[in-house]
């Protein structure tokens, strides 16, 4: 009897060990598939043109051609793209956070007639993407002479309905007694928002700020509409512009195009690694609402 | 009803100037955001429908109202075939992105649902592609999918398959774009499902185990139903996002070959900024908006009945 039980136990344990090994193997295989395009981008960016076009592609460059990076920089004004992207992204993030905090306070804690009806107006904006309305917005921006300007890049993205939604939810969870105490000490609304609510909701503020930053950094659709020259182009368009600048000779210059891609990807990957805890918590928050 | 109305009126009359001033200041907090939505979201939507009734194009400044001419072009004229083809490719792209996000997401969630640093690190890696600009990853994938020198065709060749034309063939262009999409979104689906799975009480599983339910049965009868709100969230958000697909199409195919990847937003862009037919672009965008709205509303309505809520 006991022998049989023992044998069953051993079998169960072996089965479990086999399942663990299988789980690790499958997980590692998937990680390798996901990483491969990034690996291939880096490796290709360091190859010579001859090696790039070998019939049997090499998994490691025979010789490293760092010059590809200098060549890519000579083909496209990456410095300018970076500058434009940073100004645009920081501008959008700053405006979204400030205007969003005010609005979230008003909708979460404010007392005025029609508050909840007006909040529906905010939520409704989520259903009207710029991909639908860009033609009239372009007309408006053109009339204001905002084509190829930071104003044109930033202002149409200055408020995020989604951010107001998330911040309102978080501000609501703060107990009113904190706000009343602050008011009794003579603090005005601005003080209550930025010295009480925002610090108390720091994790959420971080999350929405980072998501806004990444969205801005990777924005493509509207920047493409509103910029016509490389003067105000952003990095998300930059790599594509680099590729196009080789007109017809793209294949043999893939190493330089990949070098441009590496330069565009590195900042965001570093940011992701450093701040991923906030990014992840943001998504679970969004999904649970 | 009447009594309550008068009570509210009375309260309003009683509101002192100080209280009213406070209310007004509260309203001022939301005013900038509301003004923004009025100017940059709602007004352009109204303007979009108005432009649809004009003959405006970007070449000349003046325009006049032409009634339903552009709608006739879309529903009865030469625009119809392109429109139907574009609808078809947009929906089929959306269908596959949803399938990848939901099915791939939940499978990976089950696979990567393990404690420990190694798995946490691997999860982050699988999730990361979502944060890389689509345009940049599209260019990397174009190189991998290159029909002559691409790595994918080299690997397939080793198995005696191919070479596949990928982006250069109308039969495989959409698939090529979806390969990039899959790489980008599957980790996102996984992360959303994993965070929801963490919220499921262990008691359910223990009870089921006592009843002798195997791992698959537990997944099927506990995990899946309790994840249905998450599935709905992913379904709706993925639907809205993927219907708007533009970036990967613009970089990888420009709607081609032979309009085989001419998704709706790309077509609107092409009408407005390549063909300069702003009037037609406005009509296509207006109809597209109505379709988006109708589908989202329908999804919400159906799901309210069928989603299982754990509370």
CATH of the domain at B200: 1.10.3720.10
Three-state SS for A111? Answer: coil
**What residue has token string 């490719």?**
B89
Q: How far apart are CA B168 and CA A251, in angstroms?
A: 14
Cβ–Cβ contact B191 with A under 8 A: yes
In this predicted structure, what is the pLDDT of residue A289? Answer: 52
In this predicted structure, what is the pLDDT of residue B52? Answer: 93
Tell me whether residues A111 and B191 touch, CB distance under 8 A. Answer: no
Tell me whether residues B48 and A133 touch, CB distance under 8 A. Answer: yes
pLDDT-derived band at A283 (thresholds 50, 70, 90) equals: low
Asked whether residue B62 is assigned to any structural domain, the reply reads no
Cβ–Cβ contact B168 with A under 8 A: no
Q: How far apart are CA A77 and CA B131, in angstroms?
A: 23
Q: A135, A190, A284: best mutation site toward chain B, by most B Cβ within 10 Å?
A: A135
Residues 59-98 of A with CB under 8 A from B: none
Measure Cα distances from B15 to A43, A281, B3, B20, B26 in Å. 71, 42, 19, 6, 15
In this predicted structure, what is the pLDDT of residue B311? Answer: 36
Q: Do residues B217 and B298 both lie within one domain?
A: yes
Residues 264-283 of A with CB under 8 A from B: 264-265, 268-269, 271-273, 276, 279-280, 283
Structural domain of B223: 69-306
Q: How far apart are CA B124 and CA A275, in angstroms?
A: 11
Three-state SS for B54? Answer: strand
DSSP state of A59: S
Asked whether residue B64 is assigned to any structural domain, the reply reads no
pLDDT one-digit tens code per residue, A206-215: 989 998 998 8
Chain B CB contacts of A283 under 8 Å are 188, 191-192, 195
Mean pLDDT in residue range A225-238: 90
**Portion of chain A with pLDDT greater than 70, in percent:** 97
Q: Please give the tally of structural domains in chain B.
A: 2
Q: Do residues B18 and B135 both lie within one domain?
A: no
Tell me whether residues B195 and A139 touch, CB distance under 8 A. Answer: no
Mean confidence (pLDDT) of chain A: 90
In this predicted structure, what is the pLDDT of residue B76? Answer: 93
Q: Do residues B123 and B249 both lie within one domain?
A: yes
Query: B303: closest CA among B222, B223, B217, B231?
Result: B231
Asked whether residue B245 is assigned to any structural domain, the reply reads yes
Tell me whether residues A57 and B149 touch, CB distance under 8 A. Answer: yes
In this predicted structure, what is the pLDDT of residue B216? Answer: 82
Mean pLDDT in residue range A75-79: 89
In contact, A204 and A167? CB cutoff 8 Å: yes
In this predicted structure, what is the pLDDT of residue A259? Answer: 94
In this predicted structure, what is the pLDDT of residue A42? Answer: 95
The full set of domain ranges for chain A reads 2-67, 76-245
Chain B CB contacts of A189 under 8 Å are 25-26, 29
Q: A60, A132, A211: best mutation site toward chain B, by most B Cβ within 10 Å?
A: A132
Percent of chain A as helix, strand, coil, to the nearest 5: 80, 0, 20
Q: Alpha helices, DSSP H only, in chain B?
A: 2-14, 17-37, 43-51, 69-75, 79-99, 105-112, 117-127, 134-144, 151-158, 173-198, 202-210, 215-218, 224-226, 228-243, 247-252, 264-269, 278-306
Tell me whether residues A265 and B132 touch, CB distance under 8 A. Answer: yes
Min CA distance, B221 vs chain A (Å)?
Answer: 21
Tell me whether residues A121 and B37 touch, CB distance under 8 A. Answer: yes
In this predicted structure, what is the pLDDT of residue B306? Answer: 60
In this predicted structure, what is the pLDDT of residue B1? Answer: 45
Chain B CB contacts of A139 under 8 Å are 47, 51, 278
Chain A CB contacts of B234 under 8 Å are 287
Min CA distance, A197 vs chain B (Å)?
Answer: 14
pLDDT one-digit tens code per residue, A114-160: 999 999 999 999 999 999 999 999 999 999 999 999 999 999 999 99
| Paired tokens of B231 | 């599935």
Q: Is pLDDT larger for residue B171 or for residue A285?
A: B171
pLDDT one-digit tens code per residue, A241-267: 898 888 878 888 899 999 999 999 998
Tell me the mean pLDDT per 10 residues along chain B, length 311: 55 75 92 97 96 86 87 93 96 97 95 92 93 93 92 92 89 96 95 88 84 83 87 90 94 90 96 93 96 89 63 36
The residue of chain B with its CA nearest to that of A271 is B131
Which of left, alpha, beta for B15 (phi over 0: left; psi -120 to 50: alpha)? Answer: beta
Tell me whether residues B136 and A107 touch, CB distance under 8 A. Answer: no
Query: B261: closest CA among B75, B96, B76, B48?
Result: B96
| Least confident span in A39-43, A281-285, B97-101, B118-122 | A281-285
Query: A41: closest CA among B137, B124, B147, B175?
Result: B137
Q: Do residues B281 and B251 both lie within one domain?
A: yes
Q: Do residues B6 and B115 both lie within one domain?
A: no
Tell me whether residues A30 and B111 touch, CB distance under 8 A. Answer: yes
At the topology level of CATH, where does A76-245 sit?
A: MetI-like fold (1.10.3720)
In this predicted structure, what is the pLDDT of residue B300? Answer: 80
Q: How far apart are CA B48 and CA B50, in angstroms?
A: 5
Among candidates A41, A135, A268 on the partner chain, residue whose Cβ is nearest the Cβ of B282: A135
Q: How far apart are CA A103 and CA A165, in angstroms?
A: 9
Among candidates B26, B247, B282 on the partner chain, residue whose Cβ is nearest the Cβ of A220: B247
In this predicted structure, what is the pLDDT of residue A172? Answer: 92
Asked whether residue B61 is assigned to any structural domain, the reply reads no
Sign of the C-alpha dihedral computed for residues B159, B165, B167 and B173 taken in this order: negative
Asked whether residue B58 is assigned to any structural domain, the reply reads no
Q: Do residues B287 and B251 both lie within one domain?
A: yes
Residues 239-258 of B with CB under 8 A from A: 240, 244, 246-247, 250-251
Cβ–Cβ contact A164 with B under 8 A: yes
Is omega for the bond preceding B257 within 30 degrees of 0, making it cis? Answer: yes
Query: B194: closest CA among B116, B107, B306?
Result: B107
Asked whether residue B96 is assigned to any structural domain, the reply reads yes
pLDDT-derived band at A43 (thresholds 50, 70, 90) equals: very high
Mean pLDDT in residue range A104-110: 94
Q: Do residues B27 and B144 both lie within one domain?
A: no
Measure Cα distances from A264 to A6, A77, A107, B19 in Å. 59, 12, 38, 53
* ipTM of the prediction: 0.90
Asked whether residue B59 is assigned to any structural domain, the reply reads no
Min CA distance, A3 vs chain B (Å)?
Answer: 23
């Amino acid at each position: 009897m006991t022998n049989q039980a023992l044998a069953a136990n051993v079998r169960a344990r072996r089965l479990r060990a086999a399942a663990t090994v299988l789980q690790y193997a499958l997980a590692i295989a998937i990680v390798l598939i996901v990483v491969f395009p990034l690996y291939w981008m880096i490796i290709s960016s360091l190859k010579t043109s001859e090696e790039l076009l070998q019939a049997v592609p090499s998994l490691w460059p025979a010789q490293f051609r760092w010059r590809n990076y200098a060549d890519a920089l000579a083909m496209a004004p990456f410095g300018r793209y970076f500058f434009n992207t940073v100004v645009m992204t920081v501008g959008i993030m700053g405006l979204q956070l400030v205007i969003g905090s005010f609005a979230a306070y008003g909708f979460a804690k404010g007392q005025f007639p029609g508050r909840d009806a007006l909040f529906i107006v905010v939520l409704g904006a989520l259903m009207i993407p710029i991909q639908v309305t860009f033609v009239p917005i372009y007309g408006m921006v053109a009339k204001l002479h905002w084509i190829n300007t930071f104003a044109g890049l930033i202002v149409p993205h200055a408020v995020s309905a989604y951010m107001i939604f998330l911040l309102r939810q978080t501000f609501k969870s703060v107990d009113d007694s904190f706000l009343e105490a602050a008011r009794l000490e003579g603090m005005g609304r601005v003080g209550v928002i930025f010295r009480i609510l925002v610090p108390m909701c720091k994790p959420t503020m971080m999350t929405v700020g980072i998501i806004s930053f990444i969205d801005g950094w990777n924005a493509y659709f509207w920047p493409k509409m509103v910029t016509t020259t490389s003067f105000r182009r952003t990095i998300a368009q930059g790599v594509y512009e680099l590729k196009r600048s080789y007109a017809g000779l793209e294949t043999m210059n893939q190493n330089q195009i990949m070098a441009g891609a590496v330069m565009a990807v590195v900042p965001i990957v570093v940011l992701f690694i450093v701040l991923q805890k906030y990014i992840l918590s943001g998504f679970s928050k969004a999904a649970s609402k | 009803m009447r009594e309550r109305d008068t009570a509210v009126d009375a309260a309003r009359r009683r509101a002192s100037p100080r209280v009213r001033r406070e209310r007004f200041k509260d309203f001022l907090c939301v005013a900038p955001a509301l003004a923004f939505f009025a100017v940059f979201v709602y007004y352009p939507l109204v303007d979009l429908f108005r432009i649809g009734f004009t003959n405006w194009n970007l070449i000349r400044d003046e325009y006049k109202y032409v009634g339903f001419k552009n709608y006739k072009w879309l529903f009865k004229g030469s625009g119809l075939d392109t429109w139907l083809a574009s609808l078809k490719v947009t929906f089929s792209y959306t269908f596959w992105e949803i399938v990848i996000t939901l099915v791939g997401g939940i499978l990976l969630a089950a696979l990567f649902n393990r404690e420990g640093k190694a798995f946490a690190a691997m999860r982050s890696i699988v999730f990361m592609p979502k944060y890389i600009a689509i345009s940049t990853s599209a260019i990397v994938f174009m190189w991998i999918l290159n029909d002559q020198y691409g790595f994918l065709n080299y690997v397939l060749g080793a198995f005696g398959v191919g070479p596949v034309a990928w982006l250069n063939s109308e039969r495989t262009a959409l698939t090529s774009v979806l390969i990039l999409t899959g790489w980008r979104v599957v980790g996102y689906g996984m992360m959303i499902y994993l965070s929801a799975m963490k919220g499921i009480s262990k008691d359910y599983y223990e009870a089921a185990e006592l009843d002798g339910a195997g791992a698959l049965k537990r997944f099927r009868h506990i995990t899946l139903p309790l994840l249905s709100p998450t599935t709905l969230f992913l379904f709706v958000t993925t639907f809205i996002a993927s219907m708007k697909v533009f970036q990967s199409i613009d970089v990888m195919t420009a709607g081609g070959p032979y309009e085989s990847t001419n998704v709706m937003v790309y077509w609107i862009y092409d009408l407005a900024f390549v063909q300069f037919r702003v009037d037609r672009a406005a009509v296509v965008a207006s109809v597209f908006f109505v379709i988006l709205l109708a589908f989202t509303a329908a999804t919400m309505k159906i799901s309210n009945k069928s989603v299982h809520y754990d509370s």
